[in-house]
């Protein structure tokens, strides 16, 4: 099992290029099942989750070729299978995103039920509500979910919560449904906009992505396209916090500034200097940063995927900070690990109170999920001694070349294989 070792590092300095967004690449790869001609995707991050999604596509009959660094060609003209295996589904929840595309392309799909995970129970009721509204029959049996239909017909769907995955799955299913589908209270994340742009390049007719109402007019067939994945706003945010926590001076390149507005605002509130370029952001930290409060919300609110990393920062800010997590019911798994490093944190239901301390201490800690792992790396950069992070496969799911990127900024971080 790999471990990531992080030593107390000097203030980070230099430039770091952000990779394509995991959470845009995964639904776009799933959406590639809809096209019947060649699809070329660029700026695809090199991640375990991307590898798994490509395996899912291959298992369904798509041809997937890695052409170059970050470039993948997919051809789904000949897909024949409509079932994903339990093995692949259990490796990654996002595999469930193939349901919408398969339902509209094949008229049927069968997958095993994605389980809960460390950050919460993560139900899929909203995805299924959408499929039913479009005319699918849902059949849940022995842990498998089947969806079947003679034909899909557009309808008005109101989401009780603006779920990212449900918005994506329903949007994909609706691309070839008869008539118009309207999704109300849709998620507005940039990854939804990227998916919509990609689907429109394939020939879909989608309007309104990025607002809370998305209108999809069904078309008969989707073709091929070339598309570049948007930069990963969460990876960008993680390096922005790294600059802040180490009192460094880092230029984050390949970032869409409007996607990281809440992160910029909160770093400025803590006392960092943030300079915005056209597609770059410079973050300069200092030793006098003060406590801040955050409340996670769907986009354009503060992203839940940055909550753990900000909590790592809060452990050493002057004063008492507060975090309210409203998106997932159990996303505080990093708290016990940060406490092993000496952090002073108390949890009450969905709130955490963090009293800033002078110095974290290195410890042996476990990454419970991807962003929790990133928080431990950030804590390790400023902790006395060595921080040894176990279960790093979580980190590899979502950070492309994390050690190389941090090392390039002067951090002391390396991998150890037992
Ligand atoms: N929810 C329901 N019913 C549903 C779907 C969701 O109640 O049918 C609830 C969830 O339980 C959760 C909330 O809605 O409490 C938000 O879930 P959402 O569906 O928006 O999340 P997701 O699509 O499963 C994506 C990202 C997550 C990110 C969330 C929120 C991907 C592949 N994953 O998950 O990313 O945290 O949106 O922004 O896009 C990560 O990258 O570390 C990560 C966990």
Higher pLDDT, 89 or 240: 240
Binding site membership of 158 for ligand 1 (Cβ less than 6 Å): no
Closest CA to 405 of 15, 6, 7: 15
- 42-101 confidence digits (pLDDT tens): 999 999 999 999 999 999 999 999 999 999 999 999 999 999 988 888 888 899 999 999
**Predicted confidence (pLDDT) at residue 119 exceeds the cutoff of 80:** no
Q: What is the mean pLDDT of residues 302-316?
A: 98
Task: Report the candidate in 193, 201, 325 with the shortest Cα–Cα distance to residue 258.
Answer: 193
Query: Residue range 291-312: average pLDDT?
Result: 98
What does each C-alpha distance from 16 to 24, 239, 244, 251, 411 come to in angstroms? 20, 8, 14, 6, 12
Q: What is the mean pLDDT of residues 264-291?
A: 97
Tell me, what's the pLDDT at 136? 97
Which residue's CA is the nearest one to ligand 1's atom 2?
Answer: 123
The reply to whether ligand 1 has any atom less than 6 angstroms from the CB of 166 is yes
Query: What pTM did the predictor assign?
Result: 0.97
Please indicate whether residue 24, judged by its CB atom, sits closer than 6 Å to ligand 1: no
Catalytic residue check, 117: yes
pLDDT in tens, 9-57: 999 999 999 999 999 999 999 999 999 999 999 999 999 999 999 999 9
pLDDT at 122: 78
- Average pLDDT for the chain: 96
Structure tokens at 326: 């409203």
pLDDT at residue 318 tops 70 = yes
Q: Ligand 1, from 25, 133, 164, 187: best to mutate by most atoms within 8 Å of Cβ?
A: 164
378 lines ligand 1 (CB under 6 A): no
- Helix 164-174 / helix 22-31 crossing angle, nearest 10 deg: 20
Question: Quick one: which of 160, 120, 126, 92 has its CA closest to 328?
Answer: 120
Q: How many CB atoms lie within 10 A of CB 88?
A: 19
Q: What is the pLDDT confidence band of residue 112, given thresholds at 50, 70 and 90?
A: confident
For position 226, what pLDDT does the model report?
98
Q: Find the mean pLDDT for residues 393-405.
A: 94
Query: Confidence band (pLDDT; 50, 70, 90) for 115?
Result: low
Q: Which two tokens stand for residue 96?
A: 């469930």
Catalytic residue among 40, 106, 113, 117: 117
- Say what the pLDDT of residue 116 is: 59
Ligand 1 close to Cβ of residue 143 (< 6 A): no
The answer, yes or no, to whether residue 120 has pLDDT greater than 80, is no
Distance CA 93, CA 195 (A): 18
Q: Which residue has the tokens 């095993």?
A: 112
Q: Which ligand 1 atom sits nearest the alpha carbon of residue 125?
A: 8
The mean pLDDT value for 142-163 works out to: 95
């Amino acid at each position: 099992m790999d471990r990531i070792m992080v030593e107390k590092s000097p203030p980070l300095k230099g430039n770091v290029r952000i990779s394509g967004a995991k959470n845009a690449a995964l639904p776009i790869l799933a959406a590639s099942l809809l096209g019947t001609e060649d699809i070329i995707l660029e700026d695809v991050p090199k991640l375990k989750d991307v590898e798994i999604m490509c395996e899912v596509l291959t298992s369904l009959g798509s041809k997937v070729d890695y052409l170059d660094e970050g470039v993948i060609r997919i051809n789904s003209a000949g897909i024949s299978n409509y079932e994903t295996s339990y093995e692949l589904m259990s490796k990654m929840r996002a595999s469930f995103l193939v349901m919408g595309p398969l339902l509209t392309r094949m008229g049927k799909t069968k997958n095993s039920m994605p389980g809960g995970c460390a950050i919460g129970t993560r139900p899929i009721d909203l995805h299924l509500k959408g499929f039913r509204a479009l005319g699918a029959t849902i059949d849940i049996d022995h842990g498998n979910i089947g969806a079947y239909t003679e034909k899909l017909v557009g309808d008005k769907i109101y989401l009780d919560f603006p779920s990212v995955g449900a918005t994506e799955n329903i949007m994909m299913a609706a691309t070839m449904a008869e008539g118009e589908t309207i999704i109300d209270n849709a998620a507005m994340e940039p990854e939804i906009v990227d998916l919509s742009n990609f689907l429109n390049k394939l020939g879909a007719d989608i309007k309104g992505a990025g607002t809370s109402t998305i209108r999809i007019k069904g078309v008969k067939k989707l073709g091929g396209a070339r598309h570049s994945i948007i930069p990963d706003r969460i990876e960008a945010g993680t390096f922005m916090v790294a600059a802040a926590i180490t009192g460094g001076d880092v230029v984050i390149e390949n970032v869409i500034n409007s996607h990281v507005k809440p992160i910029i605002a909160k770093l400025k509130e803590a006392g960092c200097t943030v300079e915005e370029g056209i597609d770059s952001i410079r973050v300069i930290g200092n030793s006098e940063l003060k406590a801040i409060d955050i409340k996670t919300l769907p986009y354009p609110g503060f992203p839940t995927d940055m909550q753990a990393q900000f909590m790592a920062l809060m452990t050493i800010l002057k004063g008492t900070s507060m975090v309210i997590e409203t998106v997932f019911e159990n996303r505080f798994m990093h708290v016990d690990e940060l406490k092993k490093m000496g952090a002073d944190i108390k949890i009450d239901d969905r709130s955490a109170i963090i009293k800033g301390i002078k110095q974290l201490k290195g410890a042996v800690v476990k990454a419970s999920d991807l962003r929790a792992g990133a928080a431990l790396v950030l804590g390790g950069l400023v902790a006395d001694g060595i921080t040894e992070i176990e279960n790093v496969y979580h980190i590899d799911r979502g950070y492309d070349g994390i050690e190389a990127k941090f090392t390039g900024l002067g951090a002391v971080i390396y991998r150890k294989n037992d």
